Each structure stands twice: as structure tokens, then as C-alpha cells.
Amino acid sequence: MAKQPQSNGMNRRDFLRTGTAVATSAMLLPLTGTSVFGAFAGGNATVSIPAARLNNGVMMPLLGFGTNTLTGDVGERCVADAISVGYRLIDTAHVYGNEEAVGAGIKKSGIDRKELFVTSKLWVDDSGYEGTKKAFQTSIDKLGTDYLDLYLIHRPRGDVKGTWKAFEELYEAGKIKAIGVSNFEPDQLAELLSYAKIKPANNQIETHVFFQEHVNYASLKDREIQMQAWSPFAAGRNGIFSNPTLASIAKKHGKTIAQVCLRWHYQRGIVAIPRSSQKAHMIENLNIFDFELDAADLQTIAPLDLNRTQFPEWS
Ligand SMILES: NC(=O)c1ccc[n+]([C@@H]2O[C@H](COP(=O)([O-])OP(=O)(O)OC[C@H]3O[C@@H](n4cnc5c(N)ncnc54)[C@H](OP(=O)(O)O)[C@@H]3O)[C@@H](O)[C@H]2O)c1
């Protein structure tokens, strides 16, 4: 994301939100899709992952697996484990340096490519028409696939217009099933929409209980662009896994804090992509479709919003 001027600790996202009533998190929103994407046996229960219908008709699992920092042999093992317990959406990016490991994990899993939903992202150094075409080919070669389900502009930097033209051509050639963006603010999306022939299907942004993203949420809903949450656990920051408010809601439902967080995303219709290096956590994180946060739970979670990034080093 382009560096924004900071004053009094307020970044542009904070500024955008100033004066905006924070109420949407208390609403139980209808889910955007009904199809089932994959199924797994977690404990004694068999759980299916519902899917969202993107604005081009492509179905996207509402819960996926994040791979940032999972590189080399660890990355390969984690991706294979994640697929074996039921994940079908795998999120990677050129800049994670793990597309080969992710590809090896997919191969190791033995699951048919067509059953998976693979996302990668174009890094800023490769922006522009030619750079994008080359970077896309490198990504799919490393992943050992001949298409991506979703390709995202990782950050709104560089020659976004040239990049989007290349994305549209790759989409029209059937090399990418859906094209989208990541870390785009509403004004940056508006600019892209002013010249796009094909509307982005998805915007992947930082979203968790400490940064609930109400402005982006409303704007993406209006534009019929699927919202996707990166760092759905704030990568463990701000004591999320020992937060007493979340702990009391978890206790009430006989669930864990991680499951409450992921259920909260799911009930907002947001695709979450939690990362874990532990198979037990991977299974736990999938096991969120057998309970429901009620209106009181959602009202209790709403004030946890600090309305700012937990990753200021990336702003
Ligand atoms: N587009 C972007 O700019 C962007 C930026 C950041 C991330 N992302 C994507 O979003 C994905 C997820 O975000 P993230 O990797 O930053 O972090 P995250 O998913 O918010 O949190 C990961 C952390 O949570 C722990 N964890 C997972 N399940 C747990 C459980 N059930 N109980 C307790 N701890 C648990 C993991 O530890 P264990 O390994 O011990 O389970 C790990 O330390 C990334 O991997 C990446 O794919 C995208």
C-alpha cells in the first residue's frame, strides 16, 4: 500500500472511518453462497465448507488456508496436511517465497487440482503489463499448475492500470478463473473501476476483531466485490488468543477463541484464510460450522474494534 501521511497516530484508514457509526458487526448477515466446497472429518463430525459465489459466478470456499511464512519443507508439509484435513482454498503469493513448496504440498496431497481453489498474488516489483504476464507464468510454473483460481494485485502500487490489463487478458484466455485485488482502499478501487473492463471479484484486506473494517465492508458489499480477511487472528497480536471477552464467548459455546474469531468472519460473509503450522489447529479452525454467534455475542465483539491495523510496519 502506498505510504500514507500519518498524524497523531491516525492513518488514512482511521481517517476514512472518523464519524462513521460502527453498527454492522451486530448484524447477522445472509451468507453469500450455499454450495459446499470440500468436506472433511474433524473429530467425530463431518464438516463441509460453504462457498461464496463471486461476481463472475465462480464459487470460492468461505474458509481457506493461509501460507505466509510457511516455506520449504514446512510449507510443503503444512499444505499437504491442510488439504488432508479438508481445506480446499490455498492462499499463497510470489512474495512469500513458497509457491514451489505450496505446489509440492498440493502434489503430495494427491487431491485433483480441479477440487482446489488456488490463489496467488502479483508483487509490486512485477507491476505493469509485461511484468505481470511474466510473473504470472513464473507463479504457475512454481505451483505446478496451468491456471489459478484467483490472482490478486498484492498491493495498490506501481502500474496498476497495466497490471489490470494483463490480468484481464489472462482471465479472458482462461488462465485465471477470477481476478481481484488486495489491500485496496475504496478510493483506490474506484480508480481501478474507472478503467476496468472486468470488475475485480475479490479484495483481500486485513480484517479481524481488532480491525473490523466497517467502511471497506460496506463499500465492497455495495460494489459486489467479495471481501476476504487476511490475518483473521491478527497473527496472534494484541493477545487475541487470551482475550477475556472472546474467551467468555468461546466458553459459552464450548468452542475456542480461534473458532469464535473464524465464525465471526463467516457470519459476516467474509472469506477467512487462517494459517497454522499445526495439524490440530488446522482441524480446530475448520470446525466452525456447528454453532452460531448470537446477536449478544456480536454486540460484545463489536467494541473490540480498535479501528487500526495491527501491522503498522506494513502501512
Ligand atoms: N494480502 C496480504 O497483504 C496478506 C498479508 C498478510 C497475510 N495474508 C494471508 O493471510 C494468511 C493468514 O494471516 P497470517 O498468516 O498473518 O496470520 P493468522 O492466520 O491471523 O494467524 C496465524 C497465527 O495463529 C496461530 N494459530 C492458528 N490457529 C490457531 C488456533 N486454533 N489456536 C491458537 N493459535 C492458532 C498460528 O500458530 P500455529 O502455527 O502454532 O497454529 C499463527 O501463529 C497468511 O498466511 C496469508 O496467506 C495476506
In this prediction, residues 262-282 reach a mean pLDDT of: 98
**Mean pLDDT estimate for the chain:** 89
Cα gap 152→274, rounded to integer Å: 18
| Residue 146 exposed, middle or buried by CB count within 10 Å (0-12, 13-18, 19+) | exposed
pLDDT at 50: 97
Expressed in angstroms and rounded, the spacing between residue 23 Cα and the centre of ligand 1 is: 26
Confidence label for 44 from pLDDT (cuts 50, 70 and 90):
very low
Atom of ligand 1 nearest to the CA of 258: 31
- Closest listed residue to residue 35, CA positions, set 3, 19, 58: 58
**How many Cα atoms occupy the beta-carbon half-sphere of 101 within 13 Å?**
21
Residues 6+ apart with CB under 8 A from 7: none
CB distance 285 to ligand 1 below 6 Å: yes
- Ligand 1 pocket residue status of 257, Cβ below 6 Å: no
**Is 96 one of the catalytic residues?**
yes
> Phi and psi dihedrals of 257, rounded to 5?
-60, -40
Higher pLDDT among residues 51 and 41, named by residue: 51
Residue 40 in this model has a pLDDT that exceeds 60: no
Q: Is the CB of 66 under 6 A from ligand 1?
A: yes
Lowest mean pLDDT segment, chosen from 27-31, 99-103, 204-208: 27-31
Cβ–ligand 1 contact at 139 (below 6 Å): no
278 in contact with ligand 1, CB cutoff 6 A? yes
Q: Is the CB of 63 under 6 A from ligand 1?
A: no
pLDDT > 80? residue 30: no
Model pTM?
0.90
Work out the average pLDDT over 50-79: 98
Please tell me the residue having the least CA distance from ligand 1 atom 13.
Answer: 231
Q: Which of 94, 276, 278 to mutate to test the pocket of ligand 1 (most atoms within 8 A of CB)?
A: 276
Domains belonging to the chain, first-starting first, are 44-314 (3.20.20.100)
What is the mean pLDDT of the segment spanning 85-101? Answer: 98
Work out the average pLDDT over 99-107: 98
- Of 87, 96, 151, 217, which residue is the catalytic one? 96
Please report the pLDDT score of residue 315 as a whole number. 82
| Cα 263 to averaged position of ligand 1 atoms, centre (Å) | 15
Averaged pLDDT for residues 271-280: 98
User: β-strands 176-182, 65-66: how paired?
Assistant: unpaired
Q: Is the pLDDT of residue 112 over 60?
A: yes
* pLDDT tens-place string over residues 161-192: 999 999 999 999 999 999 999 999 999 999 99
Strand-strand pairing, 148-153 and 117-122: parallel
Report CA(169)–ligand 1 centroid distance (Å): 32
The pLDDT of 266-286, averaged and rounded, is 98
Q: Is the pLDDT of residue 300 over 50?
A: yes
pLDDT number for residue 47:
59
Q: For atom 25 of ligand 1, which residue has the closest CA?
A: 276
CA distance 209 to 243: 11
